[in-house]
Chain A
Amino acid sequence: EVQLVESGGGLVKPGGSLRLSCAASGFTFSSYSMNWVRQAPGKGLEWVSSISSSSSYIYYADSVKGRFTISRDNAKNSLYLQMNSLRAEDTAVYYCARDRDGSYSLDYWGQGTLVTVSS
């Protein structure tokens, strides 16, 4: 059974940092592109970042570029999102999700982890 479990969310002050993790199981993690998608309270989905299977290709939304860093450790079946210089508008539930086949269709999602940026 495919499972994605996020962790690392919490309350952080503006300007602070947080590192999210996503533990994957039930599939060959190293064969799939992975993604972070967020959803602010009461708002729609926003694609945050994508990383290819071998980390060769990495993309960011303009809203987080220069502040967030996506990475993965295929040996540990884990995906990460390092978030620096956090702003109030980064407050959201952050989901990690698997790309089904490289066509940006996300077929498995984690349960999400809440990040709250507030003083």
Chain B
Amino acid sequence: QSALTQPASVSGSPGQSITISCTGTSSDVGGYNYVSWYQQHPGKAPKLMIYEVSNRPSGVSNRFSGSKSGNTASLTISGLQAEDEADYYCSSYTSSSTLPVVFGGGTKLTVL
């Protein structure tokens, strides 16, 4: 299975906004609204931040938002805070594989 493409790293200062991209194909990101985003702090299990492109689970800050355009999904974090520093992964349903879901390679967010 081919992973979705994410930037290896992004950074921003407290209070700023950043966007993490997740690029796939029409067989995954572009073809279905089943994109999720996860946050993972070192040594911890991942946490679901966004599901079905733009929906936030209960308890997730509204500073986190998701969107999609064509084959690229995006996670935007506004009002950056120190605790946002973590790894972020996207995932998508895919019709092009025997396993119907694929992760992105992950993006390390550094809060300067």
| Chains A and B form a bound pair | yes
Interface residues of A (CB under 8 A from B): 37, 44-47, 49-50, 59-62, 65, 95, 97, 100, 103-107, 109-112
CA–CA, A106 to B38, complex, Å?
Answer: 9
User: Which one, B17-25, B69-77, B78-86, B99-107, is touching chain A?
Assistant: B99-107
* Cβ-neighbour of B93 out of A62, A95, A103, A106 (below 8 A): A103
Judge whether B38 and A47 touch: CB under 8 Å.
no
CA–CA, A50 to B101, complex, Å?
Answer: 9
Judge whether B99 and A105 touch: CB under 8 Å.
no
Tell me the minimal C-beta distance from A24 to chain B in angstroms. Answer: 15
Judge whether A104 and B45 touch: CB under 8 Å.
no
Residues in A whose Cβ lies below 8 Å from that of B106: 44-45
Judge whether B101 and A109 touch: CB under 8 Å.
no
Residues in A whose Cβ lies below 8 Å from that of B40: 45
Judge whether B105 and A44 touch: CB under 8 Å.
yes
Residues in A whose Cβ lies below 8 Å from that of B54: none
A-B pairs with CB below 8 Å: how many? 76
Tell me the minimal C-beta distance from A92 to chain B in angstroms. Answer: 13
Judge whether B89 and A107 touch: CB under 8 Å.
no
Residues in A whose Cβ lies below 8 Å from that of B87: 44
A-B contact pairs, 16 of them (CB 8 A): A45-B106, A46-B103, A47-B1, A47-B91, A50-B99, A50-B100, A59-B100, A61-B1, A62-B97, A62-B99, A103-B36, A104-B92, A104-B101, A105-B91, A106-B36, A107-B57
Interface residues of B (CB under 8 A from A): 1, 3, 34, 36, 38, 40, 45-48, 51-52, 57, 87, 89, 91-93, 97-106
Judge whether B98 and A95 touch: CB under 8 Å.
no
CA–CA, A101 to B89, complex, Å?
Answer: 19
Judge whether B3 and A59 touch: CB under 8 Å.
no
* Cβ-neighbour of A100 out of B48, B89, B97 (below 8 A): B48
Residues in A whose Cβ lies below 8 Å from that of B36: 103-106
Nearest CB in chain B to that of A96: its residue: B45
CA–CA, A81 to B61, complex, Å?
Answer: 34
CA–CA, A44 to B106, complex, Å?
Answer: 6
Judge whether B1 and A103 touch: CB under 8 Å.
no
Tell me the minimal C-beta distance from A67 to chain B in angstroms. Answer: 14
